[in-house]
């Protein structure tokens, strides 16, 4: 083998000599023409580019052999195991996470959590794309909380750089870790053998020296010799292993305020935090990754053992044995004695000198006279004579010096005029947000005051005073011209709902309790709540703060009935167990500037209960027409008066004018028919927006326009009442198109989005049942069979969609029911494939139409669906009249008619249907129930 190598070397030398002879001196080389030079230059550039590409490719190939996290080569692992950095989490890790009730689908989340490395922005040319099994094991140990002995080879995050001439990645790869050629020299091999024998000894010595050096360095970093107790102070001679277990592994003192790392090593909290800050985020004992957030208190049983250790007091002339848990208290006694000893030399005989606090006020004055004069002189010279501020600051500094920060914070709050107690408005917010009644709050107030000895919460009367500033009747205002039949007094809070009726109460035997605000006072209170929003809106539109108007305010009115609001216990008057709430929302505010109206405020969450302001609340049935009119008539009279008047209100120090536009849109169909004098919803006149009958609407599903209005309903009522043409009942009914009572609240002909959802969902629920029973084949079926279909549907929806059966359709059930997933679940119960397609298409069209009436601004939120609405509604109508003819021949539901025929016209008029819905009032109903 050696001879062969010698031959190879000789041949190589020969080649080199030949090449050397061939080389031509510079002077003898012929000069090349320009074209050849240009060609050579291009060739050189091309070669350089190719070389660069090859280098980059080689660099990338080298990167693939390294771990992304620790930078170690995969060749060091015998099994060559590696994991994709951006790939899915392997099944073993997922199983572990599932056990620990944690979720993660990809490695980047786990790597970020364990190593604090963000790999989402990695570039393949710079960063490796896989990580090693060692780092994988560290992740496992992190989540399994097992005692870890895995070695992490780096103190800090691996820095990856793009390829360069002195690239460390490529240099290491080229150099490699190869065995040296065996020397033919026997003496050399013998020498190597001797070195190899000595190597382990040298290595172990060096390792021990490094560990000692590291320990000494950590002790220097901790620097806790004066604060922590040495293990030599232990009163009992414990075994060495036990002493090691109760001592800090950094400073080797007895553990003070011990903390445990994820790898189950114990340290003093100050020592480990200092080490982590200086030496990097790993455990000083085992070098496992460790962060300050991972530190936890050890188990209670260990702390009990630690605190029960007996130690000798290190103070001179005190050999008392003290339990470690009581050592701090014992030490404070020594400090107190020492402090008293400092002042003993002042007493020059006579009776023993008493402590300052035990003296009478006169004696205290006498003793502190000199100090008082000094403080007074300083205060007059430096602080303008404010002795109180100087004394309080001295007291504050003394408290801070003794680490009594809680007492110092309270004193600071008093000095700043805040007081240690909460502000009444904050207490009120706490009471409301935690749904506490007055009596419950009062109990809490008394308990806290009795336990702490301080008035943290404010008494109920303070809350009521604070509440007055938030409720209507607090801010002064004026109307021009004054409101007709409304008092000019502005300090009007909660009033009886029956007040303001212009006639005797004997006319109405009203069995109800009603409370309300005066409508104008409620509007003023809402405007003053929005003072900041209005002024900021003016700034945002580059308008002057001093603009006084006129401001135009659009008001959404809502009214809704509630069932089952009976008292849990109470002996009040016998009133119906139902309630009616009337409320309003300020939707937008515009100001006249020049020749245009500039919108300075628009409610971003018009269906939130937070912006829905209650005006009237009555315990009455919404179907009781007489009670409803008796309570709401004064409110409506105030509203009508405000339409023709201007509000003068001081806002931001300037008197401003406001006009109001009232839009009654937050009513469900039942209440619209009640207040507009129309027949009930089962009437042949199915629509509150147009005059169509049920038959006409079923024959012409789409082409209708809004024709009804409040004024027209009043005229028709007069015709119904007086019958000027002396017609029969049927003829007269046909003439007035279903108006049978006097309209008393003006509503805007519109659709309530929430009740539209509920009505349509109820109809789809019925269609699902009929499709299960194949009614399109057998229209004549018994009631029992229909009940069986409903039961089958309910069970299947509960199983597949987790939808529990309900007695009456509500908004939440409607939202969950109207999905493609529900249709797929229902199709499992239907055999015919053709019916599957029909149902899927019907639901698909409905889901495309729904956002148009649900969104607050469809032109911005879903412009494409708005454009497609007419086409989708026509196709929906076509499906109803063909595939679902068995149900919709000669009839149609009220809300299907409104959805198909009137939505585009309302959007064109108002810009939105969803924003003007009654959902905010419905949410307010829930709050009312809670209280």
Does residue 604 lie within any of the structural domains? yes
Question: Measured between alpha carbons, how far is residue 203 from residues 209, 286, 756 in Å?
Answer: 10, 19, 83
Q: What span, in angstroms and rounded, lies between the C-alpha atoms of 228 and 269?
A: 11
Does residue 101 lie within any of the structural domains? yes
The number of distinct structural domains making up the chain is 6
Pick from 296, 316, 297, 317: nearest CA to 307: 297
Does residue 742 lie within any of the structural domains? no
Q: Specify whether the CB–CB gap between 639 and 702 falls below 8 A.
A: no
Percent of the chain topping pLDDT 90: 44
Same domain, 796 and 922: yes
Q: Specify whether the CB–CB gap between 779 and 887 falls below 8 A.
A: no
The neighbour count for residue 179, using CB atoms within 10 Å, is 5
pLDDT grade, residue 384 (50/70/90)? confident
Whether pLDDT at 449 is above 50: yes
Same domain, 461 and 488: no
Average of per-residue pLDDT values in the chain: 85
Same domain, 462 and 476: no
Q: What span, in angstroms and rounded, lies between the C-alpha atoms of 715 and 737?
A: 12
DSSP 8-class letter at 75: G
Question: Which of helix, strand or coil describes residue 147?
Answer: coil
Same domain, 433 and 388: no
Q: Which of 7-21, 404-418, 607-621, 694-708 has the lowest mean pLDDT?
A: 7-21
How do residues 476-503 score in pLDDT, each as one tens digit?
A: 999 999 999 888 999 988 998 877 555 5
Q: What span, in angstroms and rounded, lies between the C-alpha atoms of 581 and 404?
A: 53
Q: Specify whether the CB–CB gap between 745 and 628 falls below 8 A.
A: no
Question: Which of helix, strand or coil describes residue 553?
Answer: strand
- Determine the angle formed by the axes of helices 833-854 and 753-772, rounding to 10 degrees: 180
pLDDT grade, residue 564 (50/70/90)? confident
**Strand 578-593, strand 654-666: pairing:** unpaired
Which one has a higher pLDDT value, 25 or 822?
A: 822
Q: What contacts 848, CB < 8 A, 6 or more positions away? A: 865, 868, 872
The neighbour count for residue 290, using CB atoms within 10 Å, is 26
Does residue 654 lie within any of the structural domains? yes
Q: Specify whether the CB–CB gap between 884 and 767 falls below 8 A.
A: yes
Residue 183, pLDDT score: 43
Pick from 466, 463, 446: nearest CA to 455: 446
Whether pLDDT at 36 is above 70: no
Question: Which of helix, strand or coil describes residue 213?
Answer: helix
The neighbour count for residue 326, using CB atoms within 10 Å, is 11
- 819 alpha-carbon distance from chain centroid: 26
> How many alpha carbons fall within 13 Å on the CB side of residue 511?
9
Beta strands in 85-225 (DSSP E): 130-132
CB environment 423-432: b (16+ within 10 A), e (fewer) = ebbebbeebe
- Calculate mean pLDDT across residues 776-782: 87
Which one has a higher pLDDT value, 144 or 153?
A: 144
Whether pLDDT at 169 is above 50: yes
Q: What span, in angstroms and rounded, lies between the C-alpha atoms of 162 and 204?
A: 38
DSSP 8-class letter at 434: T
Pick from 682, 664, 839, 661: nearest CA to 766: 839
Same domain, 778 and 913: yes
How do residues 600-645 score in pLDDT, each as one tens digit?
A: 999 999 999 889 999 999 988 998 888 899 899 999 999 999 999 9
Residue 19, pLDDT score: 40
pTM over 0.85: no
Does residue 748 lie within any of the structural domains? no
How do residues 880-897 score in pLDDT, each as one tens digit?
A: 999 999 999 889 999 999
- Determine the angle formed by the axes of helices 820-827 and 783-801, rounding to 10 degrees: 120
Same domain, 278 and 322: yes
DSSP string for residues in 279-334: H-SB-TTT--B--GGG-BPPPHHHHHHHHT-EEE--STT---EEEGGGHHHHHHHH
Q: What span, in angstroms and rounded, lies between the C-alpha atoms of 791 and 721?
A: 48
Among 173, 200, 233, identify where a domain stops: 173
**Residue 329, class by beta-carbon neighbours within 10 Å (0-12 exposed, 13-18 middle, 19+ buried)?**
exposed
Q: What contacts 398, CB < 8 A, 6 or more positions away? A: none
Among 644, 666, 688, identify where a domain stops: 666
Same domain, 440 and 482: no
Q: Structure tokens of 156?
A: 């800090």
Residue 153, pLDDT score: 60
Same domain, 322 and 455: no
Same domain, 402 and 431: no
Same domain, 118 and 66: yes
Q: Specify whether the CB–CB gap between 608 and 474 falls below 8 A.
A: no
Does residue 705 lie within any of the structural domains? no
Q: What span, in angstroms and rounded, lies between the C-alpha atoms of 523 and 510?
A: 27
**Dihedral angle at the C-alpha atoms of 322, 325, 329, 335, nearest 10 degrees?**
70
- 120 alpha-carbon distance from chain centroid: 24
Whether pLDDT at 850 is above 90: yes
- Calculate mean pLDDT across residues 752-762: 94
**Residue 844, class by beta-carbon neighbours within 10 Å (0-12 exposed, 13-18 middle, 19+ buried)?**
middle
Domain hosting residue 767, numbered range: 753-930
Residue 521, pLDDT score: 95
Same domain, 908 and 764: yes
Question: Measured between alpha carbons, how far is residue 646 from residues 316, 326, 349, 657, 660 in Å?
Answer: 87, 75, 86, 6, 8
Q: Which of 357-371, 399-413, 459-473, 726-740 has the lowest mean pLDDT?
A: 399-413
The neighbour count for residue 925, using CB atoms within 10 Å, is 21
Residue 681, pLDDT score: 87
Q: What span, in angstroms and rounded, lies between the C-alpha atoms of 518 and 639?
A: 10
Residue 927, pLDDT score: 79
Q: Specify whether the CB–CB gap between 116 and 276 falls below 8 A.
A: no
How do residues 261-304 score in pLDDT, each as one tens digit?
A: 888 899 999 999 888 888 888 888 888 888 888 888 898 889 99
Pick from 671, 706, 711: nearest CA to 907: 706
Q: What span, in angstroms and rounded, lies between the C-alpha atoms of 927 and 608?
A: 12
Q: What span, in angstroms and rounded, lies between the C-alpha atoms of 858 and 852?
A: 6
Whether pLDDT at 649 is above 70: yes
Same domain, 413 and 440: no
Q: Specify whether the CB–CB gap between 232 and 259 falls below 8 A.
A: no
Q: What span, in angstroms and rounded, lies between the C-alpha atoms of 792 and 776?
A: 18
Q: Specify whether the CB–CB gap between 880 and 701 falls below 8 A.
A: yes
- Number of helices (H) and strands (E), helices first, in the chain? 36, 15
Q: What span, in angstroms and rounded, lies between the C-alpha atoms of 138 and 148?
A: 8
DSSP 8-class letter at 270: H
Distance between first and last Cα of the chain: 99
Does residue 555 lie within any of the structural domains? yes
Residue 46, pLDDT score: 79
- Where residue 851 falls (left for φ over 0; alpha for ψ -120 to 50; beta otherwise) is alpha
Question: Which of helix, strand or coil describes residue 555?
Answer: strand
Does residue 8 lie within any of the structural domains? no
């Amino acid at each position: 083998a050696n001879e062969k190598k010698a031959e190879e070397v000789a041949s190589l030398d020969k080649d080199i000599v030949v090449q050397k002879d061939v080389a031509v001196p510079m002077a003898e080389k012929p000069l090349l023409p320009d074209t050849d030079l240009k060609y050579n230059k291009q060739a050189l550039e091309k070669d350089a580019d190719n070389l660069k590409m090859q280098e980059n490719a080689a660099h990338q190939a080298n990167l693939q052999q390294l771990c992304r996290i620790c930078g170690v080569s995969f060749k060091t692992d015998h099994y060559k195991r590696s994991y994709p950095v951006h790939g899915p989490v392997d099944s073993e890790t997922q199983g572990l996470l599932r056990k620990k009730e944690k979720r993660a689908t990809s490695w980047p989340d786990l790597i970020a959590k364990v190593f604090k490395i963000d790999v989402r922005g990695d570039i393949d040319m710079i960063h490796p794309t896989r990580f090693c099994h060692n780092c994988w094991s560290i992740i496992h140990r992190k989540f399994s909380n097992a005692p870890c002995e895995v070695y992490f080879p780096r103190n800090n995050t691996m820095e990856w750089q793009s390829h360069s001439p002195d690239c460390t990645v490529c240099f290491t790869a080229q150099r490699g870790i190869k065995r040296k050629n065996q020397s033919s020299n026997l003496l050399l091999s013998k020498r190597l053998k001797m070195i190899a024998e000595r190597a382990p000894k040298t290595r172990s010595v060096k390792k021990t020296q490094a560990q000692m050096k590291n320990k000494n360095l950590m002790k220097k970093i901790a620097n806790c010799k004066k604060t922590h107790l040495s293990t030599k102070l232990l009163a009992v001679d414990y075994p060495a292993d036990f002493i090691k277990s109760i001592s800090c592994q950094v400073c080797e003192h007895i553990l003070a305020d011990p903390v445990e790392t994820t790898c189950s090593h114990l340290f003093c909290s100050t020592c480990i935090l200092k080490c982590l800050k200086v030496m990097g985020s790993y455990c000083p004992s085992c070098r496992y990754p460790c962060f300050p957030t991972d530190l936890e208190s050890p188990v209670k049983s260990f702390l009990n053992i630690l605190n029960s250790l007996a130690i000798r007091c290190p103070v001179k002339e005190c050999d008392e044995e003290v339990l470690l848990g009581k050592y701090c208290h014992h030490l404070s006694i020594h400090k107190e004695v020492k402090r008293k000893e400092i002042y003993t030399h002042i007493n020059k005989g006579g009776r023993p000198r008493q402590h300052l606090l035990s003296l009478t006020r006169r004696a205290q004055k006498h003793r502190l006279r000199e100090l008082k004069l000094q403080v007074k002189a300083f205060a007059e010279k430096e602080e303008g004579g404010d002795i109180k501020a100087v004394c309080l600051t001295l007291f504050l500094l003394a408290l801070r010096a003794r680490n009594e920060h809680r007492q110092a914070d309270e004193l600071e709050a008093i000095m700043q005029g805040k007081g240690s107690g909460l502000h009444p408005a904050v207490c009120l917010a706490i009471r409301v947000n935690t749904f506490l009644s007055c009596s419950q709050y009062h109990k809490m107030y008394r308990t806290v005051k009795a336990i702490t000895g301080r008035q943290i919460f404010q008494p109920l009367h303070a809350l009521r005073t604070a509440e007055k500033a938030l409720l209507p009747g607090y801010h002064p205002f004026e109307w021009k011209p004054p409101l007709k039949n409304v008092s000019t007094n502005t300090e009007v809070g909660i009033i009886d709902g029956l007040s303001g009726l212009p006639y005797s109460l004997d006319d109405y035997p009203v069995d109800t309790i009603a409370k309300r605000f005066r409508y104008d006072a409620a509007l003023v209170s809402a405007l003053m709540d929005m003072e900041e929003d209005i002024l900021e809106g003016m700034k945002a539109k580059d308008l002057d703060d001093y603009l006084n108007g006129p401001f135009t305010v659009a008001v959404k009115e809502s009214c809704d009935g509630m069932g089952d609001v009976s008292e849990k216990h109470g002996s009040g008057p016998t009133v119906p167990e139902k309630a009616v709430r009337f409320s309003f929302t300020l939707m937008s505010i515009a100001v006249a500037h020049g020749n245009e109206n500039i919108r300075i405020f628009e409610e971003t969450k018009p269906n939130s209960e937070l912006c829905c302001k209650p005006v009237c609340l009555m315990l009455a049935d919404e179907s009781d027409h007489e009670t409803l009119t008796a309570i709401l008539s004064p409110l409506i009279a105030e509203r009508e008066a405000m339409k023709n008047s201007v509000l003068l209100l001081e806002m931001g120090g300037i008197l401003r004018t406001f006009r109001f536009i009232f839009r009654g849109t937050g009513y469900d169909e039942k209440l619209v028919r009640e207040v507009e004098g129309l027949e009930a919803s089962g009437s042949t006149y199915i629509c509150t927006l147009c005059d169509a009958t049920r038959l006409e609407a079923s024959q012409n599903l789409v082409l209708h326009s809004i024709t009804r209005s409040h004024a027209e309903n009043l005229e028709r009522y007069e015709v119904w009442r007086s019958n000027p043409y002396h017609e029969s009942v049927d003829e007269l009914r046909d003439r007035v198109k279903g108006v049978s009572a006097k309209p008393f609240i003006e509503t805007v002909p519109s659709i309530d989005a929430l009740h539209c959802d509920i009505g349509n969902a109820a109809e789809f629920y019925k269609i699902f049942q009929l499709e299960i029973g194949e009614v399109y084949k057998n229209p004549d079926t018994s009631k029992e069979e229909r009940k069986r279909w409903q039961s089958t549907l309910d069970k299947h929806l509960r199983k597949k969609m987790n939808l529990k059966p309900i007695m009456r359709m509500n908004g939440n059930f409607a939202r969950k029911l109207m999905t493609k997933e529900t249709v797929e679940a229902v199709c499992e119960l239907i055999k015919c494939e053709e019916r599957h397609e029909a149902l899927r298409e019907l639901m698909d069209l409905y889901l495309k139409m729904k956002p148009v009436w649900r969104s607050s601004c469809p032109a911005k939120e879903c412009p494409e669906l708005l454009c497609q609405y007419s086409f989708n509604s026509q196709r929906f109508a076509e499906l109803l009249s063909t595939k679902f003819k068995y149900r919709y021949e000669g009839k149609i539901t009220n809300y299907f008619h409104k959805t198909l025929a009137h939505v585009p016209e309302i959007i064109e008029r108002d810009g939105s249907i969803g924003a003007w819905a009654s959902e905010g009032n419905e949410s307010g109903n829930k709050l009312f129930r809670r209280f």
